[in-house]
């Protein structure tokens, strides 16, 4: 297992990643349309997918004839990369293996929050950008009060009670914005791409028990956490296999290099 403090997107986290965290194709298409409109990206442009993971974003960029390079530190995530014929490199965003000013667009989705030394990673991404080129930071927000949010909050509470840290290893969104504001200006952006996930409480439980926060728990602790969380969730929903619709939004912030 990866030692604490290193990238935790390995083994079971990578194996389960797409099951819980892929995004609907139409959301990705709308997201890419928004990116192209907001940044004026032209076919042939060079796009760096920073922390590319399993390639959730890659497909919608590649079919539009952009040149694509995905960088990720986790070989296990890259092994599950869903697209052929694109360039992917195992590498550390804190030392992006590119010359200065060669990239037209950096996309960084769900990344800086999990990168230790995220400030270096942001500076490296900006360094790789051409002058006036763009960086788009994306994240998925669940509505507060939704079942997904309720389960996440309850899980973190149970983890804290067990003395297990739940903090992200990287930046929060305010910190990302502040760091980027040194070298980039935030533009009008794209706004949110809203969508609904049709799921069940059981699937939401599985997702909440498969991420990096719990990747280092031993099986006994994980099983106890699952039973307690399942009881709490059943108390709210009446069952684990009832159909539920969860509103979510892909939030996209666009920055231009000065």
Spatial neighbors of 227 by CB under 8 A, at least 6 apart, are none
- Biggest alpha carbon distance in the chain? 56
Binding mask 48-67 for ligand SAM (x = CB under 6 A): ---xxx--x-----------
Which value, to the nearest 10 degrees, does the dihedral of the CA atoms of residues 39, 175, 111, 117 take? 120
Would you give the DSSP letter of residue 216?
T
The alpha carbon torsion through 126, 10, 117, 107 (nearest 10 deg) reads 20
Q: Work out whether 77 is an interface residue with ligand SAM (CB under 6 A).
A: yes
Smallest gap, in angstroms, from Cβ of residue 212 to ligand SAM?
8
Question: Nearest to ligand SAM by Cβ — which residue?
Answer: 53
Among 38, 41, 45, 115, binds ligand SAM (CB under 6 A): 115
| Out of 2, 89, 102, 114, the residue judged to bind ligand SAM by CB under 6 A | 114
Least spacing, CB of residue 220 vs ligand SAM, in Å: 26
Q: Which stretch binds ligand SAM (CB under 6 A): 103-111, 152-160, 190-198, 237-245?
A: 103-111
Instruction: Say which residues have a Cβ less than 8 Å from residue 157's Cβ, sequence separation at least 6.
Output: none
Closest CB to ligand SAM among residues 110, 228? 110
Nearest to 148 by CA among 210, 214, 204: 204
Q: Quick one: 76 or 104, whose CB is closer to ligand SAM?
A: 76
Contact 212, 53 (CB under 8 A): no
Verify binding: residue 9, ligand SAM, rule CB under 6 A: yes
Give residues in contact with ligand SAM (CB under 6 A). 7, 9, 21, 51-53, 56, 71-74, 77, 92-94, 109-111, 114-115, 121
């Amino acid at each position: 297992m990866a030692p604490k403090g290193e990238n935790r997107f390995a083994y079971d986290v990578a194996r389960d990643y797409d099951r819980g965290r892929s995004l609907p194709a139409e959301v990705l298409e709308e997201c890419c349309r928004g990116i192209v409109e907001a940044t004026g990206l032209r076919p042939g442009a060079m796009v760096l997918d920073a922390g590319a993971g399993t390639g959730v974003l890659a497909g919608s960029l590649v079919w539009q004839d952009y040149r694509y390079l995905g960088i990720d530190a986790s070989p296990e995530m890259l092994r599950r990369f869903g697209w052929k014929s694109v360039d992917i490199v195992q590498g550390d965003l804190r030392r992006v293996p590119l010359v200065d000013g060669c990239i037209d667009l950096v996309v960084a989705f769900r990344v800086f929050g999990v990168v230790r030394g995220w400030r270096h990673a942001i500076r490296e991404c900006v360094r790789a950008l051409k002058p006036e080129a763009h960086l788009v930071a994306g994240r998925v927000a669940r509505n507060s009060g939704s079942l997904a949010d309720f389960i996440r909050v309850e899980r973190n509470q149970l983890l804290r009670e067990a003395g297990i840290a739940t903090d992200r290893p990287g930046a929060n969104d305010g910190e990302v914005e502040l760091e980027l504001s040194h070298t980039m200006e935030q533009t009008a952006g794209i706004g949110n791409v809203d969508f609904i996930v049709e799921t069940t409480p059981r699937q939401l439980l599985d997702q909440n028990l498969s991420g990096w926060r719990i990747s280092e728990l031993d099986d006994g602790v994980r099983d106890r956490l699952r039973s307690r969380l399942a009881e709490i969730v059943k108390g709210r929903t009446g069952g684990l296999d009832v159909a539920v619709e969860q509103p979510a939004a892909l939030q996209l912030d666009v920055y231009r290099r000065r």
